[in-house]
Structure 1
Amino acid sequence: MILAFFIGVISSVHCVGMCGPLMFALPAMNVSWAKQVGIHLLYQLGRILTYGLLGFVLGLLGAGTLIRGWQQYMSLVTGIILLLFALYYFLQRYGKGSFSYGGTFWQPLFNKMGYWIQRPGGHFVVGLLNGLLPCGMVYLALAAALNTGSPVNGFIFMAFFGLGTVPLLLIALVCGHYFRKRIRLNFIGLIPFLFLIMGVWFILRGANLDIAYLSPLLYPKSGTTLCH
Structure 2
Amino acid sequence: MIAISLTGALLIGLAGGVHCIGMCSGIAGALRFASPAHTSHWPYTLSYNVGRLSSYTLAGVLAGALGQSFIHLLPAALPVLAIISALLLLAMAAYLGQWWLGLRQLEKAGGRVWRKIQPWSAKFIPFRHPAAAIPYGMVWGWLPCGLVYSTLSFALASADAIDGGLIMLCFGLGTLPALFAASSGAHWLAGALRHPKARQLVAVLLLVYALFLIIRVIEPQPGHMMHF
Shorter-chain TM-score category? 0.7 to 0.9
The residue number in structure 2 matching 1:76 is 83
Correspondence for 1:21 among 9, 23, 26? 26
In 2, the alpha carbon distance for the partners of 1:81 and 1:21 equals 26
The residue number in structure 2 matching 1:174 is 184
Q: Per the alignment, do residues 62 and 142 of structure 1 end up closer, same or farther by CA in structure 2, a change over 3 Å counting?
A: same
Q: What's the CA shift for 1:161?
A: 0.7
Q: Per the alignment, do residues 21 and 107 of structure 1 end up closer, same or farther by CA in structure 2, a change over 3 Å counting?
A: same
Q: Which amino acid aligns with 1:112?
A: W
In 2, the alpha carbon distance for the partners of 1:88 and 1:141 equals 15
Matched, 1:30 2:30: no
* Contact preservation (8 Å) 1:46, 1:128: yes
Matched, 1:226 2:213: no
In 1, the alpha carbon distance for the partners of 2:54 and 2:137 equals 9
Correspondence for 2:211 among 200, 218, 228? 200
Larger radius of gyration: 1
In 2, the alpha carbon distance for the partners of 1:114 and 1:164 equals 27
Moved more, 164-173 or 188-197: 188-197
The residue number in structure 1 matching 2:221 is 216
Q: What's the CA shift for 1:167?
A: 2.2
Please list every run of 5 or more consecutive structure 2 residues that lacks an aligned counterpart in the other structure.
1-5
Q: Per the alignment, do residues 146 and 96 of structure 1 end up closer, same or farther by CA in structure 2, a change over 3 Å counting?
A: closer
* Contact preservation (8 Å) 1:82, 1:195: yes
Correspondence for 2:115 among 107, 114, 125? 107
Q: What's the CA shift for 1:31?
A: 3.7
Q: Per the alignment, do residues 172 and 204 of structure 1 end up closer, same or farther by CA in structure 2, a change over 3 Å counting?
A: same
The residue number in structure 1 matching 2:69 is 64
SS at match of 2:158: coil
Q: Which has the higher helix share?
A: 2
Q: Which amino acid aligns with 2:217?
A: G
Moved more, 110-119 or 146-155: 110-119
In 2, the alpha carbon distance for the partners of 1:136 and 1:188 equals 15
Q: What's the CA shift for 1:55?
A: 0.7
- The number of equivalent residue pairs is 212
Q: Which amino acid aligns with 1:50?
A: S
Q: Per the alignment, do residues 192 and 143 of structure 1 end up closer, same or farther by CA in structure 2, a change over 3 Å counting?
A: farther
In 2, the alpha carbon distance for the partners of 1:151 and 1:97 equals 29
Deviation string for 1:154-212 (max 9, x for gaps)? Answer: 101110111111123213222354543343233665676566445534433332x2xxx
In 1, the alpha carbon distance for the partners of 2:88 and 2:49 equals 29
The residue number in structure 1 matching 2:138 is 128
The residue number in structure 1 matching 2:13 is 8
SS at match of 2:56: helix
Q: Per the alignment, do residues 180 and 64 of structure 1 end up closer, same or farther by CA in structure 2, a change over 3 Å counting?
A: same
In 2, the alpha carbon distance for the partners of 1:182 and 1:88 equals 20
Taking only aligned residues, the RMSD between alpha carbons, in angstroms, comes to 3.4
Q: Per the alignment, do residues 77 and 94 of structure 1 end up closer, same or farther by CA in structure 2, a change over 3 Å counting?
A: closer
The residue number in structure 1 matching 2:158 is 148
In 1, the alpha carbon distance for the partners of 2:207 and 2:186 equals 33
Instruction: Determine what percentage of the aligned residue pairs are the same residue.
Output: 27
Scaled by the length of structure 1, what TM-score is found? 0.75
* Contact preservation (8 Å) 1:145, 1:153: yes
* Contact preservation (8 Å) 1:86, 1:193: no
